[in-house]
Structure 1
């Protein structure tokens, strides 16, 4: 769950929609296989990336907080609120039934789980079964997302208590961890402090609803309950995706490599503290690089960059914050720099660029009576990739509601940048930026801002702000539309 500085529902948010300068040092690397990209969300197979935005706090009819998944479908014009699909547990073919507090859409991940060429959506109703969680896989098709199947918790507890509980589907991510060319779904079951975490890997999920036997991977540390604490990518260039996930082993994230036999927790390595993770090839050397976001690091938050190699992630990550030369703004308390992360190639040069959210940053706004400081307004920073690594001294694009080409007005506690995603929604070969703001309209209902790539930057022509009413949701305090996007 993305953190909020104002009162919000204590549940995760996900929804489905139709329709430089100083160059950070990197270790020299020999030739390696190019890592497979993370599964792109393309539910109808039209080549345009789709985005799942989550609203587990949304009502379904009169059922409060049953949860909805709003799916925004990509097109030649990018994203538009009219081209959407709302999924609930009351939708035809979607497993389960809406219940108060079920929080359907609280966690989601995308991959082709049945091998038919269409992206599928794995989605959790975190609050169902007395907060034990309910997991569904909804199938993609030429018409978009439709029916699905439920994946039952193979180790479900007979009774949930504060002392002995687990949350099925608390973490979801897709990748090819055994290198066989097929997407697998990894499901994390968060447990209480007395129990170490377990990962469940599913492959070839059947449309019949027959329950597949997952590969269980016992971890030597407890999993956090945050859905954001997981990412996948090929860090060591061996053709198998690896995992980066947040646990509570000395408060560090863990790198867990893949292999022909799947995940190998015995070879796990710590990769720094923080609650945000992303994997992408910044320098184009064929190895995935790990970025950890630590919104409590430095003074106002920081990111830690561990470059990949045949031996895995570098042992000494490079720290970047708003005090790093060339990074716009200032390193100030509670900025939350690093709260959200996403990789994508914005300029089409073959290097992965990095979007970083700073949801707590204050903005100076000019009013008729003078300049006013707007607290917790939020900003997003776009760093460029290059052959020498992440570029920090020049060319960092800072975006807020005060920026030209960004729609909307700065508001106190808007938290612009609480979530970010880079993905090519208009099929022009360049990643566009989607930004979530959990309190965009002053009542904590939230919004999603679409900033298309011009080839040199994001924003400007074609940009738009999408608010809940435009996608068929009823805005209310605590809805937090835009606080979570799909993995």
Structure 2
């Protein structure tokens, strides 16, 4: 057999449980849908060139190895085929049951006089769960994190932030007020403005994540924005359980908007309502807790906690700061072991932070800090600063400063550790610039940097451009691990404002020996105006214990439970 073979990765990330959707390579008579775990439904639309006989059975084959002309004869055929009618058109359908949770290649022998193979669909059978915000106006899914195994049951867990929830205020309102607010929500009038916030922990299990949270943390004051940032931070105290943190950037103590972070240590039993460690900002409008990450920067075996405070004026006004709390047998101290300072007035250093792995091969994890309004010159392109780890912790000065390309790019607004994209043994990372104009005004862009023995180069290996004006591609990023088993890590990019009505979109890019591919292997679109699909992203955790990385995509404006109730779409 001859002919070009196009490879299209289809993860079949259906965004609605109630509406089945068929997918397949563009222009192919073959469409494929994952209908259950390990079960793939294959539908064939018979081509009808002049003179073709009715009822022709297609030659469709599948394999766990790539399908080529040379391997075609050894691949099993898809059979039996049953006639069905879809939207008035006659089709043939078959189901491949009991497939193992690895990649499967499906293709058809091209009909007609010239031999060839249709575009090859690469299928990874995954399950889907959709979690919804309880009421309108919660913005559930604004932040999501796959936080590791908090309770030691062998399954990863999911943390979701809903920073505009007012659930913590409901009990304080008079009964008539609660009734009136519930009625307004029921008729579709969103109620928000209190911005008290909430965070929800969903445990994983053999059947996937639970549909209801096992633990809930509610804000206690208006404007707290609890859940504006959530993060798994590793094992801070070395007890073998994953720990997590919830940002409360609008928290008030003696001043206003100093911010705070609630840290919880994992344990085998129920989590307490009060945090194991409660850290508070020091200055008015510091917004301490706007960004959180964790990693072992001094190589002592304990994870370290990193907290961004982009409004801090320890240096210049609103230059921003990052506080590092080093882990130990009893967890981190309440006093930071390192403080990194922004240098640019209104630079917002610390608006994003990411533990990016070992980018220079010295055995220590490194830290990337975003300052999306800051650079060393007045262009305000945004910047990202790379700090190397070492036996004493993080270096006080950045080893590398990365800059945006044009004024207002907001380069550094989102950061992501990718793992090893190209298989060279060094960690790689990505930086988002959601207001970059290369693809149109505010289309957005993402720059991918590769580690090496001397660290990353100042110029990106790959630049990905947003799909069109206003998309804000790169406002959220996450590494997804090795989804397809090829040994290369991938990248998930959110463009929450994409679409004519800000439905949002998410783009999946595969890694390879040459780096991140420039064309997305998969694009997912929001289905509701203002859904903001892709506002929150998380990848790489394992919710069902099958050894494969899972994905979480937040749509903070999803209206399924009321306007701006929000939702999180999980694939595992």
Q: 1:249 aligns with which of 367, 374, 378?
A: 374
**What is the RMSD of the two structures over their aligned residues, measured on CA atoms?**
3.0
| CA offset digits 1:321-363 (Å, max 9, x no partner) | 357xxxxxxx31012222211112212333211111122222x
Q: For 1:132, which of 258, 261, 284 is the aligned residue? A: 258
Matched, 1:340 2:483: no
8 Å contact from structure 2 (residues 509, 517) kept in 1: yes
Aligned equivalents of 1:12 and 1:335: distance in 2?
Answer: 19
Residues 12 and 71 of structure 1: CA distance in aligned 2, closer, same or farther (over 3 Å):
closer
- Structure-2 change in CA distance of 1:12 and 1:81 (3 Å): closer
In structure 2, which of residues 499, 505, 519 is the aligned counterpart of residue 379 of structure 1?
505
1:350 aligns with 2:487: yes
Residues 1:13 and 1:419: Cα distance change in structure 2 (over 3 Å): closer
For the residues of structure 2 that align with 1:282 and 1:435, how far apart are their CA atoms?
21
- Check if 1:56 corresponds to 2:163: yes
Report the counterpart of residue 309 of structure 2 in structure 1: 189
CA distance change for structure 1 residues 58 and 239 in 2, over 3 Å: closer, same or farther?
same
**CA offsets, 1:240-282, max 9 Å, x none?**
1111111243121111111111111424312233211112211
Q: How far, CA to CA, are the matches of 1:254 and 1:290 in structure 2? A: 12
Residue 397 of structure 2 is aligned to residue 258 of structure 1: no
**1:46 paired residue among 153, 158, 171:** 153
Which moved further from structure 2: 50-59 or 144-153? 144-153
Distance, in Å, in 2 between the alignment partners of 1:360 and 1:255 is 28
- Corresponding residue for residue 72 of structure 1: 202
Q: Is the 8 A contact 1:198 1:216 kept in 2?
A: no
| Partner residue of 1:100 out of 222, 228, 231 | 222
Q: 1:176 to 1:295 in 2, by over 3 A?
A: same
Is 2:226 aligned against 1:88? no
1:289 equivalent to 2:428? Answer yes
**CA–CA separation in structure 2 for the residues paired with 1:102 and 1:345:** 37
Partners of 1:177 and 1:263 within 8 A in 2: yes
Shift of 1:430: 1.7
Q: 2 CA distance for matches of 1:266 and 1:355?
A: 30
Contact 1:148 1:207 in 2 (8 A): no
TM-score, normalised to structure 2, is: 0.61
Q: Over residues 21-59 of structure 1, what are the superposed CA-to-partner deviations in whole Å (9 max), with x where a residue is unaligned?
A: xxxxxxxxxxxxxxxxxx952211222221211012212
SS of the residue corresponding to residue 397 of structure 2 reads helix
2:555 is aligned to: 437
Q: Does 2:558 correspond to 1:427?
A: no
TM-score (norm 1): 0.71
What's the counterpart of residue 112 of structure 1?
235
Q: Which of 267, 276, 279 is residue 141 of structure 1 equivalent to? A: 267
Q: What SS does structure 2 have at the residue aligned with 1:166?
A: coil
In the alignment, is the contact (CA less than 8 A) between 1:257 and 1:265 conserved in 2? no
Please state how far the C-alpha of 1:11 moved relative to its aligned partner: 12
Give the 3 Å change call, closer, same or farther, for CA 357–137 of structure 1 in structure 2: same
Q: Distance in 2 between matches of 1:386 and 1:429?
A: 21
Indicate the larger mover: 125-134 or 210-219. 210-219
Distance 1:49 1:61 in 2: 30
Check whether the contact 2:495–2:506 (CA below 8 A) recurs between aligned residues.
Answer: yes
What displacement does 1:311 show? 1.2
Question: Which deviations, in whole Å up to 9, do the C-alpha atoms of 1:415-445 show, x marking residues without a partner?
Answer: 1112221132222222222111121116122
Supply the distance in 2 between the matched residues of 1:196 and 1:335 (Cα, whole angstroms).
27
Map 1:207-286 onto structure 2 (within 5 A).
211-221=333-343, 224=348, 227-247=351-371, 248-250=373-375, 251-273=382-404, 274=411, 275-280=413-418, 281-286=420-425
Distance 1:436 1:70 in 2: 13
2:185 corresponding residue in structure 1: none
Name structure 1 gaps, 5 residues minimum: 1-7, 17-38, 90-97, 324-330, 363-373, 402-409, 453-487
- Specify every segment of 5 or more residues in structure 2 that has no aligned partner in the other structure, as ranges: 1-136, 173-193, 376-381, 405-410
**Structure 1 residue matching 2:288: 3-state secondary structure:** strand
Are residues 1:396 and 2:521 paired?
yes
